[in-house]
Chain A
Amino acid sequence: MVETGLIDAVAQGLVTGSIIAAGALGLSLVYSIAEVPNFAHGDMLTVGAYLALALNNPSEIPFVPNAVALPFAVAAVGAVVVAGVFGGIYEKAVFARFRDKDADLITMVIVSLGLALFLQNLVLFLAGSANVTYDTVRRVNVNVDVYATGSGLGVELTQRAGADLATLDAWGYGWLAVVAVLAVAVAAGVAVYRWRSADTGYERVHFVSPRVLAVATTLAVAAGGAALTRGGTVATSNPAFSTRIGVSWKYGAILAVMLATMLCMNYVLKRTKTGRAMRATADDQSLARVRGVDIDRVQLVVWVLAAVLAAIAGVLLGWYASNLNPNMGFNLLLPVFAAVIVGGIDSPYGAALGGLLVGLSMDVGVYLLPAEFATYRTAIAFVILVAVLLVTPEGLWGDA
């Protein structure tokens, strides 16, 4: 009997982590550039999610006109755009005013709290507290069953069809092939790393860090190798080890969106003038002003981006969980803060990595703990946060 195991939990964790990473990305921008520990960030997620709902499935929401019912993907894009506009409103109506008054950190925290109360209850007011879902295609999950036997690695794709489990496809790899592919993949990764970080005697900054590139290369080569060396079926009897990985096409989509978002953000921050202004402002706001940067404009961009990123995270969250409720964003606030603090406030990439780490530990943690502790999923994120803060009050990443 094949059952889901650790690897499945890891897969879930990566998806959860991607969503948290998207939220953390936005929060870290606001934290480092606008210098606001944004307690409303979770509720910005919720707003994004419900905006998509309003466009996609408005009959679920009492107080919203039943104007359009767009396909989910279109609604998602629309929601993200509208959320960006809201971000601009938050900045102009609220945060810019307090910045002009030179408000201190505590005041900003409480102001963001006020905004959080407002947003969360606005959603509650308009949408009620019932659990709702997006009107979107439902597909049955596919299971990837992996068997490690004496003769090699067997892979079966199965799917629930009625009461039975239908086998969609099956193939295998000889152990030799497995080892060879892994070796080549790792070698490729190392080579790429060496190539990109040519020893120059000083620290270069790259568009994509050599480490990330190396990991990506390894994964790509491994995947390519796996496709190339696909063999016939391997007998799956008496496996030494077997595991099932539940795979939903949602996972792929979410990971893809996450990667695309990261790449876009990376491009904006490193290759555009506005992005450079944003990083300069985060680095040294008075020097940026001296160099002619329009700080007000930078802050506006920051809040719009933060709202956009939060909306992306919110829509993904609602989609992944197949469920929306007004508390969804606030419940994720703690893991998102944990991700940002673990990853280092000043580094968006650190925050994203922190998000992945937090998501992984949440789902893997729940898998490892006895079943009664499932509700403590969020608590795990928090424990990590406290542990990190106790050891390094500045966060792990510092400056990336």
Chain B
Amino acid sequence: MSERERAPLLELDSLDAGYGDLRILTDIDMAVGDGEYVAIVGPNGAGKSTAMKSVFGLTTHMGGSVSFRGEPIHGAESSDIIDYGITYVPQSGNIFTSLTVRENLEMGVFMAEEFPEETIREVFDYFPILEERQQQRAGTMSGGQRQMLAMGAALMSDPDLLLLDEPSAGLAPDLVDDLFDRIDDVNDDGTAILMVEQNAKEALRRCDRGYVLVNGENAYDGPGRELLDDEEVRQRFLGG
């Protein structure tokens, strides 16, 4: 079954958004299918993070729509969006440094009635170091470990869609590869991924589809490999 025949999980339709009076995004169209791995790349200031934040209700909505399984979600509270099945890993400030690893994971399912034993097993499978260091103060972990914790916490509620904002930022190159491998694992198990990445090459190489945003507008989109091979895209964003 081709991608086009599946109903989109997440759809951004002619979205205008920004912060306060400042408009960042103009007429953005984007879609993520069930279980798809979608990357958003583009130059600095293109509005990539803003697009992601718009999905999670953290921006000022100015036009168009954001819908999840057909339901409009662009005015919703963060807690409602989590209920829909979307979780978000911000680029920075994404863990509670004074809480333990375990407590951070517990915060990931803060609103749940019971603690999901199965899900935490899965998270520990993706990121074994988290199981090892459950009682460690999160603030004393290394950069790479923190990223894994942030992602683990977001995965605790078994989301249908995981939003990742520049997961490789500030990581040493060998750790970046490791991290992306794990993201692949998460996606292979059925979680849809929407990822903003500065590291366009890696992102486009691994994703199913990609969007290139320039100046707050759609520029290119298509299967990741195609974008990677596209001359224009290479010239402008991938350094040739």
Q: Give A contacts to B, CB under 8 Å.
A: 202-206, 273, 276-277, 279-280, 282-284, 286-294, 346, 399
Contacts and interface: CB of A to CB of B under 8 A. Distances in A.
Given A276-B106, A286-B93, A399-B97, 6 more contacts: A205-B136, A276-B110, A283-B99, A291-B82, A291-B110, A291-B153
A36 to B, nearest CB: 19
Contact of A277 (B78, B90, B110): B110
Contact of A287 (B79, B90, B135, B140): B90
Contact of B97 (A202, A276, A283): A283
A133 to B, nearest CB: 42
Contacts of A284: 93, 96-97
Contacts, number: 71
B88 A203 contact: no
Give the interface size class of chain B: 20 to 34
Which of B88, B98, B99 has most chain A Cβ within 10 Å? B98
B100 to A, nearest CB: 5
Given A202-B140, A276-B106, A290 B96 contact: no
B93 A203 contact: no
B218 interface: no
Interface of B: 56, 58, 78-79, 82, 88, 90, 93-100, 103, 106-108, 110-111, 133, 135-137, 139-141, 153
Given A202-B133, A203-B136, A273-B110, A292 B78 contact: yes
A288 B111 CA distance: 11
Contacts of B98: 279, 282-283, 346, 399
A287 B94 contact: yes
Contacts of B94: 287
Contacts of A294: 79
Nearest to B97: A283
Which of A273, A284, A292, A294 has most chain B Cβ within 10 Å? A292
6 contacts: A202-B136, A203-B136, A277-B110, A280-B107, A287-B95, A290-B78
Given A202-B140, A280-B99, A292 B135 contact: no
Contacts of A205: 100, 135-137
Given A276-B103, A279-B96, A279-B98, A204 B135 contact: yes
Given A204-B136, A290-B88, A283 B96 contact: yes
A291 B152 CA distance: 13
A322 B97 CA distance: 44
Contacts of B111: 292
A292 B99 contact: no
A346 B153 CA distance: 23
Contacts of B103: 276, 279
B18 to A, nearest CB: 18
Contacts of A289: 78
Contact of B110 (A203, A293, A346): A293
B140 A203 contact: yes
A205 B135 CA distance: 6
Contacts of A286: 93
Contacts of A277: 110
A360 B152 CA distance: 45
Which of A202, A203, A277, A290 has most chain B Cβ within 10 Å? A290
A53 to B, nearest CB: 39
B136 A290 contact: no
B129 to A, nearest CB: 10
Nearest to B56: A290
A107 to B, nearest CB: 21
A291 B140 contact: no
Contacts of A206: 135
Nearest to A282: B98
B99 A279 contact: yes
Given A273-B110, A277-B110, A294-B79, A287 B137 contact: no
A292 B79 contact: yes
Contact of B90 (A204, A279, A283, A290): A290
